[in-house]
Structure 1
Amino acid sequence: MKIFYFTATGNSLDIAKRFGGELYSIPKILKGDKFDFEDEKIGIIFPCYDAAVPNIVREFIKKVTLKSPYIFVIMTYGNFTLGGINWFVKFAQENNIHIQYADKLLMIDNYLPVFDMEKEKLKSKNINENFNRLLKDINQNKHYINNGSFLDSMATSTIQSMFKIFPNFNSVKKFFVGNDCNGCGTCSKVCPRDNITISKNVDKSKPVYGQNCEFCLACINLCPQKAIKLNREKNSNARFMNENVTLKEIIAAND
């Protein structure tokens, strides 16, 4: 079994590890030269962004050829996915990838502009119980697509249209680096887009952002000094990394 995953703060990597099999980082696949994969079972695991799918996962789907009689998808999310699962299944089909099983898994929400991480961590979300249900389904090769409701699909379409109209809504213009930055380079190492370079200033090194941002917020959540901030954070001091994943693993997945 091959598992392809995209992770920023560890949630999707945590779930990918639980399934076992061969793990493949989506950002690393896109940086490589092998795009044809085949196995008796293939999984794709990624977080929900903007009620749909991260751009980097869309690029992956457009580029790869996946051959398997059973392809499953798990979308990790913190509070809502709306029609994101159904949206992805249709998108994959348009790119000649046919999904047999697609469902979502509720986890800790780390979208700093909206949710307070300290309060999120206290919520009981039954992650283990819900994962075991998904694992049982997939081990039994169950066919199932979580389509959601018509209103969910409409909401996702509306949100996606909004981001096309306002492409800078989620952009590096929202970030700023404080004086606590010590130039360690962690932000650059965890960025899945290679969008951050460490510039030598007169007195110290600081991150400089390009324009190819996934807005995954890994650089903010994983900064050891909490020096990178977002100008519309719910709680500017709260940060998140999945407790079952190490910083080293995230760097290995995205660097």
Structure 2
Amino acid sequence: MIYCFSGTGNSLWAARELGSALNEPVEGIISYRSTERVICNDNVVGFVFPTYMNDIPWIAKEFLLKLLVRPNCYAFAVMTSSRGVSKNSFENIDAALCANNAKLSGAFNLQMPGNCIQSSHEQNAERLADAPSHVTHIAREVSSRTVNFTSVDKPPKRNFIESSFYYGTKRLGHLNAMKRFEITNACNGCGDCARACPTGNIRIANGTAEHDTNCAACYTCLHWCPQHATRVKLPSLRNRFQYHHPAITLDDIEHANAHTEHPSSE
């Protein structure tokens, strides 16, 4: 099983490519948000997440803490990011697994176009061209059960989720500003942003999009708006151009981020 979370489609694309190469199913973690416990008895369990401020998204931490896997399974993680470096991401995935007597064995970075800090069109094209060969390499490493991560067998801190840079309504100065959006007059109330939002944080009222406070900082709303009407108020990001993976559609994102009622999943 491969679990993923994606906003621009980078992680969803990578998860699908890995799933095809490894003959493993792929599921979006959002479908389990209302599930108290997720049980996976597979021998191989993978995670494909985007890197947010050198960490995994808080919504991924929320999922990992409810996931039960076999203690002796081969668990691997692929982090997609603009810089190709993830720092605390793998340590925190391992910590969440350790809370349920498992551990991370494989850790892989995949450099992709950025969804927050902007990379150029030329950089994006180069990264997209290189990505398939990198995914093929990762698939080979996973097939070989390569262990390239040393678990410290340390459970997560008590504020594991809430300490995330972009957690919910947490106020961290300029970091909170990175979650403040403005909706321009170009908005026609089409609802695409609300369809794609993984946390259900957006509603259409009086013909325009309105944001609440439960933001995952995935920037799905910014990158998928057909009218380019969603902008980040932070000056350094206000005029960044849209990006989403060319092989992923808005329907793909909506399906991957759908809220589904699951019993405790096995």
CA distance in 2, matches of 1:43, 1:168: 33
**1:60–1:228 CA distance, 2 compared to 1 (3 A):** same
Give the equivalent residue in structure 2 for 1:47.
50
Structure 1 unaligned regions, length at least 5: 148-158
Q: CA RMSD in A?
A: 2.7
Which of 167, 179, 204 does residue 198 from structure 1 map onto?
A: 204
**1:230–1:161 CA distance, 2 compared to 1 (3 A):** closer
Query: Residues 117-169 of structure 1: CA distance to partner in whole angstroms, max 9, x if unpaired?
Result: 5354244462122212111100111111289xxxxxxxxxxx96899771672
Matched, 1:36 2:42: no
Q: State how 1:66-85 maps to structure 2 within 5 Å.
A: 66-67=69-70, 69-85=73-89
**1:80–1:22 CA distance, 2 compared to 1 (3 A):** closer
**1:243–1:228 CA distance, 2 compared to 1 (3 A):** same
Give the equivalent residue in structure 2 for 1:174.
180
**1:253–1:237 CA distance, 2 compared to 1 (3 A):** same
Secondary structure at the residue paired with 1:31? Answer: coil
Q: How many residues align?
A: 237
CA distance in 1, matches of 2:136, 2:93: 22
Overall identity of the aligned pairs, in %: 25
CA distance in 1, matches of 2:25, 2:178: 33
Give the equivalent residue in structure 1 for 2:8.
9
The Cα shift of 1:30 comes to 1.4
Determine which structure has greater relative contact order: mean sequence separation of CA pairs < 8 Å that are 6+ residues apart, divided by chain length.
2
Give the equivalent residue in structure 2 for 1:138.
142
- Check the 8 A contact 2:179/2:217 in 1, yes or no: no
Secondary structure at the residue paired with 2:228? Answer: coil
Query: Residues 154-203 of structure 1: CA distance to partner in whole angstroms, max 9, x if unpaired?
Result: xxxxx968997716723576210011111011111111111111112xxx
**1:161–1:239 CA distance, 2 compared to 1 (3 A):** closer
Which of 186, 210, 214 does residue 212 from structure 1 map onto?
A: 214
**1:47–1:237 CA distance, 2 compared to 1 (3 A):** closer
Give the equivalent residue in structure 1 for 2:190.
184
**1:82–1:99 CA distance, 2 compared to 1 (3 A):** closer
The Cα shift of 1:246 comes to 1.3
Which residue type is aligned with residue 190 of structure 2?
A: C
Q: State how 1:234-253 maps to structure 2 within 5 Å.
A: 234=237, 236=239, 238-253=241-256
